[in-house]
Amino acid sequence: MHTNSQPSSTAEQDILPIQGTFYVEFYVGNAKQAAFYYHYVFGFDIIGYRGPETGHRESASYLLAQNKLRFVLTSALKSDSDIAAHVHQHGDGIKDIALWVEDARQSFHETTARGAQAVRDPFTLQDDGGEVIVASIATYGDTIHTFIENRNYNGFFLPGFRQWHNEHLGSRSVGLKYVDHMVGNVDLGNMNKFVEFYAKVMGFKQLVSFDDKDISTKYTALMSKVMSNGNERIKFPINEPAPGLKKSQIDEYLEFYQGAGVQHVAIATDNIIQTVTQLRNNGLEFLHVPDTYYDTLKERVGNIDESVEELRQLGILVDRDDEGYLLQIFTKPVQDRPTVFYEIIERKGARSFGKGNFKALFEAIEREQELRGNL
C-alpha cells in the first residue's frame, strides 16, 4: 500500500491523526465500464477487483491506481441494494472518502463521542495478509468517511480484493499524483454546520473562507470555507449557495445530485502542461476560459516559469499568494448529470485555492449552465 511520510508532530497532537487519503470510493451504474473510462481518459491503472469471484456477492468493485491515488468504483449487483439506491438518487458520485489512520477504533470512538453519526462500528477484515480494522461515520448528504487501520496488514490493498490484470492494457499514466483537496456542496444555511462538524468532531482547523463578495459574478454567488486536518494532508472546502440573480452552480449541483455531496476532486500534478495536454488528447473536456484572461496575466500574477502562450492554448489558470503561485484547470462534469468534476492543480509554493480565478472560472461554468438550460 502506498504511504506518505509519517505524521508530523502537529498531527500527533490532533484528536484525529490522519496520515492521508486511503481511497475515494464512487458508487456508479457500471463499474467495469467506468474503470475503462478512468483508464483510457485519466490514465489510471486498473489493479484490483472485488466481486462474486472473490466471494463478495452484493457488488462489484474495481481498484484504480495512479501514483498515490486510489479510486474504488463500485456497482450494485442487485436492484434493492443501498448502492443501487444511491446511484438512482444521485447518479454516479462519491460515497466514501476513506482516511488512513493509525487507530481506527480510537478514531471512531473519538469522533462519535464528539457527535458524529455512526455508519459502521469498528470491525475487522482478514485474509492471509493479516487484518485491517475499518469503521465509518456520516458527513454531509449520503457521503461517509471510513477510517482504515492497516498497520497489521501486508496483503494487497484490502482483504476481499484481489489483483486484477489485463495484459492488453498498458500503463497510460498522465502524471496525476495525489488528492490535493475535495470540495463538498451543501444546502443554503448548512455550510457553517459542517464547518463546525469538521472542527468539533474531527479536530480540523479553518484555513480560509470566501464570501459572496469573493465568489460572485453578475448572476451567481456562493460561499466557501476550507477545513484542514492538522498536517494539512486532508483539505475539505465546504460550499453553499448564496442568493444571486440566477441559479448558481451550487444550486444546479444540489438539484441534479438531489442533495449534498462531493462537487469536485482536485488532483495534484508536478507538470500541469504535460498532464493537461495528455488528458485533452485522451478526450477529456475542460471548461473554456476566454483568451482575454491571458492578456493581463503577467500583470496580475508576476513572473512565472511557464509560457503564457502554452497556458492560453490549454486554458490553464494561474493565481499567486504570499508563498508562491499555483496553476489550475477544471474539467466539465464527467457524467451525464452536471455534478462531479475534477480540478487539476500544480502548486509552485502557493497554499491557497485560486481566489483570483474565481470570477473567470464561474463565468465559464455559467456558460455551460446556460447551454444546459440551467442558469
pLDDT value at position 2?
A: 42
In this prediction the pTM is 0.92
Is 267 in contact with 345 (CB distance < 8 Å)? yes
CATH of domain 176-372: 3.10.180.10
Predicted local distance difference test score (pLDDT) of residue 4? 40
β-partners of residue 305 are none
* pLDDT of the residue at 3: 39
Compute mean pLDDT per 10 residues along the chain, 375 residues long, and list them: 40 77 98 98 98 95 98 97 98 98 97 98 97 98 98 96 94 96 95 96 88 65 88 92 78 96 97 98 94 88 94 94 94 96 96 72 74 80
C-alpha grid cell, residue 285: 473536456
Same fold, 9-163 and 176-372: yes
pLDDT, position 181: 95
Q: What is the pLDDT of residue 213?
A: 65
Question: In this predicted structure, what is the pLDDT of residue 9?
Answer: 37
- Look up residue 32 and give its amino acid: K
Domain segments of the chain as ranges: 9-163, 176-372
Q: Please provide the distance, in angstroms rounded to a whole number, between the alpha carbons at the two ends of the chain.
A: 44
CB atoms under 10 Å from CB of 356, counted, come to: 18
Q: Given this model, what pLDDT does residue 214 score?
A: 64
- Contact between 21 and 232 under an 8 Å Cβ cutoff? The reply is no
pLDDT of residue 289: 86
Of 143, 123, 121, 120, the C-alpha closest to 132 is 123
Superfamily of structural domain 9-163:
2,3-Dihydroxybiphenyl 1,2-Dioxygenase, domain 1 (3.10.180.10)
**Residue the block writes with cell 509554493:** 349
Kind of pairing between the strands at 69-76 and 59-66: antiparallel
